[in-house]
Amino acid sequence: MTRIGLVVNPVAGLGGRVGLGGTDGPDRARVALSLGACPLAGARAAAALGELAARTGESARDGLLVVTAAGPLGADSVAAAGLAGRVVYAAGTGRDTSAADTAAAVRAVVAEGIDLLVFAGGDGTARDVLGALGDAPCPVLGVPTGVKMHSAVFAVSPRAAGEVAAAWLARTGGVRLRDAEVMDRDEDALGEGRVTSRLFGWLPVPDVPVRVQQRKTGSTATAPDAVGGIAAEVAERVGDGLLVLGPGSTTRAVAAALGADVSLTGVDALALRPGRPPRVVARDVGEEALLALGPAWIALSPIGGQGFLLGRGNQQISPRVLRAAGGREHLLVLCTEAKLAALGGRPLLLDTGDDALDAELSGHLPVITGRRRTSLYRLAM
């Protein structure tokens, strides 16, 4: 029996068409509905499930169970797609659903034991899912129904979500899990008049690479290969020394390749010793603890798509920490070639809050993309 979980945030995306932006908070949803907005999350979730069903063979479909929440939180979409469902959570009747419902539904669904959690919503929903799953996330895939969606946990369309889910459940096409960023608009920054997004963590997402890439046999370096190369290069550069690792899927993968388990979203420090496994000397620490470590190399990876290198989710690596490390000379930027190219020529962004330091770090810097491989890439404020 294959089980997938489905949790729909029925109000996600309500504000988009009526010009409200996001629908975070129950008031916004009510306003949107009063302005004539139509719920669309349920239909998009159903489209994703429909695609999944179409791509799943008849016998496999018979063994497929969708574990979900009642009514618009999932069961309606399961019924619309004609799949077998089991309801394990119900919101109170006659009231608006809220973030708490999303979290409770996720917990109830996951408790049943599932192969993949599909959720329909936007960045706020992704954050709720992240929070509900805690430190032991199951494979997750977002059906995009929100307004902004900075997170990387979403398929490109509902049908693509169905396609990816089918591939993951059938374990075909070389699907593997990839840690994808959960991002949301930074409300604090918004209060200060800046529109930026913030990194909240990662969720494991089935990654279906562009199939053309797979077809060209034995030629394309896969991301894990690149990470191994980056790790070897970092080890050689640091030698017998201290390495501070910023958050990011690349830095985490590099730490894993070096043999160290580091925190999910925090800043960690490793003592590297040639020929021996590294030792974690600091885990998820703040600015003061980093300053207390003494001279260190600092390894950072940019946020995919956005290109932020400093000032988003890694504020612990403060201007004081960067200056103590010696600035540019001890900054190791780690990134795969594909992720760099995906920026389409836009620079890696610096926002440490210290303009003088940002200016000092600006300009072309070697980005480590593999073993004995760098790309010279522009950093800008």
Partner 1 sequence: MTAPHAPVSVSPEEARIAGKPRLRRFRQASWDEKLIFELGSPGERGVLVPTADPSIGKPTIPDALRRTDPPALPEMSQQQVLRHYLRLSQENLGADLNIDVGQGTCTMKYSPKVNDQFVRDLRIAALHPLQDEDTVQGVLGIIHSLEQLLKEISGMDRVSLQPGAGSAAIYTNVAMIRAYFTARGELEQRDEVITTIFSHPSNAACAKTAGFKVITLHPDADGYPDIEALKAAVGPRTAALLITNPEDTGIYNPRIEEFVRIVHEAGGLCSYDQANANGILGITRARDAGFDLCHFNLHKTFSTPHACGGPAAGACAVTEELAPYLPRPTVEFDPETGVYRLDDERPESVGKMRPFYGVVPNLVRAYAWIMSLGAEGLRAAAETAVLNNNYLLHKVRQIPGVSVPYAAGRPRVEQVRYSWEKLHQDTGLHSEDIGLRAADFGTHYWTSHHPYVVPEPMTLEPTESYTRADLDEYAAILAEIAREAYEDPETVRTAPHRSTIHRVRPEALDDPAVWAVSWRAYRRKVLGEAGRP
Q: Give residues in contact with partner 1 (CB under 8 A).
A: 51, 155-157, 159-160, 163, 172-174, 210-220, 337-338, 340-342, 344-346, 363-364, 366, 369, 372-378
Helix, strand, or coil (residue 241): strand
- Name the residue nearer to partner 1 (CB basis): 172 or 224: 172
What is the C-alpha to C-alpha distance for residues 296 and 294, in angstroms, rounded to an integer?
A: 6
- Name the residue nearer to partner 1 (CB basis): 112 or 213: 213
Q: How far apart are the first and last CA of the chain?
A: 52
In degrees rounded to 5, what are phi and psi of residue 149? 55, 80
Q: How far is the CB of 220 from partner 1 (least distance, A)?
A: 6
- Name the residue nearer to partner 1 (CB basis): 93 or 217: 217
Q: How far is the CB of 258 from partner 1 (least distance, A)?
A: 20
Q: How far is the CB of 33 from partner 1 (least distance, A)?
A: 28
- Least Cα distance to 133 among 92, 182, 168, 188 occurs for 182
Pairing state between β 331-334 and 363-370 = parallel
The strand ranges marked E within the chain are: 2-8, 64-69, 85-89, 116-121, 140-144, 176-185, 197-207, 241-245, 268-273, 276-282, 297-300, 308-310, 331-334, 348-350, 363-370, 373-380
Q: How far is the CB of 91 from partner 1 (least distance, A)?
A: 31
Q: How far is the CB of 197 from partner 1 (least distance, A)?
A: 19
Q: How far is the CB of 248 from partner 1 (least distance, A)?
A: 19
Q: How far is the CB of 88 from partner 1 (least distance, A)?
A: 29
- Name the residue nearer to partner 1 (CB basis): 255 or 335: 335
In degrees rounded to 5, what are phi and psi of residue 298? -120, 120
DSSP state of 259: T
- Name the residue nearer to partner 1 (CB basis): 280 or 381: 381
| Single-letter residue type at 362 | S
- Name the residue nearer to partner 1 (CB basis): 93 or 219: 219
- Name the residue nearer to partner 1 (CB basis): 294 or 345: 345
- Name the residue nearer to partner 1 (CB basis): 86 or 211: 211
156 Cβ contact partners less than 8 Å away, ≥ 6 residues apart: 144
The answer to whether 284 and 267 have CB atoms below 8 angstroms apart is yes
Q: How far is the CB of 326 from partner 1 (least distance, A)?
A: 19
| Cα angle 92, 103, 147; round to 5 | 100
The strand ranges marked E within 48-164 are: 64-69, 85-89, 116-121, 140-144
* Residue where the block lists tokens 């000397």: 281
What is the C-alpha to C-alpha distance for residues 49 and 59, in angstroms, rounded to an integer?
A: 16
- Name the residue nearer to partner 1 (CB basis): 184 or 233: 233
CA distances for 192 relative to 83, 187, 294, 318, angstroms: 47, 9, 34, 20
Q: How far is the CB of 338 from partner 1 (least distance, A)?
A: 5
